[in-house]
Amino acid sequence: MKYFYLICCLLTVLSCQTKRAIPKKPSFLIGKWIRINAADSIKTYENWRVDFTGFGLSLKGKDTTFFEQLRILEKNNRLFLEVSGINKTPTIFQFTAQTTTSFVCENLENEFPKKIKYYMDAPLLRAEISDENFQLDFIFEKIK
């Protein structure tokens, strides 16, 4: 009987351990988006593909004034946003919060931004990039 209770206790403890759920990539990003709160002379776009790679692009007339490559990747059951094309090496932001219509990712070592937040405000996609002292807001409308 003593062994029976020991086995029951052991099984109870083992069954309480939870495995970390595999995160789902934010499918609400997929599509072609145009920024609607930019200066009139600048057109800013984000394009996200179904493989969660994409790019951000700003044009002034026909001239490209800004370009970045974007990718959401999974490592060890965690999601990361990788931004490349701005610095010599890609900048990695770790997801710190996520719902079905939003996510926040952070890299406190990065000069700016330290925090990136994407969220749906249907039918608009909003993004905020920030540090402790400054925030830039982006409002995107889906291109049909």
Read off the pLDDT of residues 71-92 as tens digits, 9 standing for 90 and up. 999 999 999 999 999 999 999 9
Higher pLDDT pick, 4 / 91? 91
How many distinct structural domains can be found in the chain? 1
Q: Are 94 and 110 in contact (CB under 8 A)?
A: no
State the residue range of the domain holding 70: 21-142
Does residue 65 lie in a domain region?
yes
On average, the pLDDT of the chain sits at: 90
What is the pLDDT confidence band of residue 4, given thresholds at 50, 70 and 90? Answer: very low
Predicted confidence at residue 14, as pLDDT, reads 47
Does residue 7 lie in a domain region?
no
**Domain harbouring 109, CATH code:** 2.40.128.20
What is the pLDDT confidence band of residue 22, given thresholds at 50, 70 and 90? Answer: confident
Does residue 63 lie in a domain region?
yes
Nearest Cα neighbor of 129 from 120, 138, 141 is 138
Length of the chain: 144
Helix (H) or strand (E) run with residue 34 in it: strand 31-35
Does residue 117 lie in a domain region?
yes
Share of the chain above pLDDT 90, in %: 83
pLDDT, tens digit, 9 for 90 and up, residues 95-123: 999 999 999 999 999 999 999 999 999 99
Q: Alpha-carbon distance 140 to 32, whole Å?
A: 9
Question: In terms of DSSP H, where are the helices of 1-144?
Answer: 2-16
What does the pLDDT average to over 44-56? 98
Does residue 16 lie in a domain region?
no
Does residue 59 lie in a domain region?
yes
Question: Torsions phi, psi of 51, nearest 5?
Answer: -90, 10
Does residue 32 lie in a domain region?
yes
